[in-house]
Amino acid sequence: MINVRAPDESTWVRQAAQGDRDAFARLVDLYWDKVRRWLFGLTGKQHLAEDAAQEAFLRAWTNLPTLREAATFRVWLFKIAKHCWSDARRRSNAHPNVALPEELPGSGTGPLSEIIGEEAHEQLELALAILPSKYRAAYLLWTQEELPYAEIAEILGITEETARWRVCKARQNLVQAMTPYLQAM
């Protein structure tokens, strides 16, 4: 996986840490969809994902001067988002294994998603919904955001090996859940 970041990201982080609102707005533009999409995959509810994303960016703006290295901004931001999700989950006592809504935003759709069909998407959503949240969180960061295991580990506060294991377990569980559907095709 190639790690592609905006060429001026570190500069924007340093400027934002010094109070530059325009630089922070560029960072929000760069990461808003990614953070919201990941949170939406965890919550299954658009409004909860929006609220948690807003809270994450507010906390990031407030605490940005404490960030030691500009290059770690992405991981740091996703860690904040994870904490916002955990806080919201605790407050609402929401069950983490909810079915994912049909409007789950993706990082891009293409011909493959049209070929697979609506029924296959429904089956995959059901399979994702029954994944334990710790596996789903790692899997969504790996598939949707294409983050390396080291960054997933740092975001989730686990070791890199545990991040690999959780993604592997998520994939195994998804294959197991989808096997009856695929065999029936």
> Which amino acid appears at position 85 of this protein?
W
Q: For 34-53, how does the pLDDT look when each residue is reduced to its tens digit (9 = 90+)?
A: 999 999 888 888 888 898 99
Query: Has this prediction a pTM greater than 0.85?
Result: no
For 14-28, give the DSSP string: HHHHTT-HHHHHHHH
Lowest mean pLDDT, pick from 4-8, 57-61, 72-76, 84-88: 4-8
Distance CA 139, CA 163 (A): 9
Q: How many domains does the chain have?
A: 2
Q: Is 175 exposed, middle or buried (0-12, 13-18, 19+ CB in 10 A)?
A: exposed
114 and 86 part of one domain: no
Is 99 among the domain residues? no
Is 164 among the domain residues? yes
Q: For 93-107, how does the pLDDT look when each residue is reduced to its tens digit (9 = 90+)?
A: 644 455 555 555 555
Distance CA 159, CA 181 (A): 34
Which domain CATH number covers 141?
Answer: 1.10.10.10
Is 2 among the domain residues? no
Q: Which range of residues forms the domain containing residue 83? A: 7-94
Is 101 among the domain residues? no
CB atoms within 10 A of CB 3: 9
Q: For 140-157, how does the pLDDT look when each residue is reduced to its tens digit (9 = 90+)?
A: 999 888 899 999 999 999
DSSP state, residue 71: G
Is 1 among the domain residues? no
Lowest mean pLDDT, pick from 31-35, 58-62, 79-83, 109-113: 109-113
Q: For 13-24, how does the pLDDT look when each residue is reduced to its tens digit (9 = 90+)?
A: 999 999 999 999
CA 109, 113, 118, 121 dihedral sign is: negative
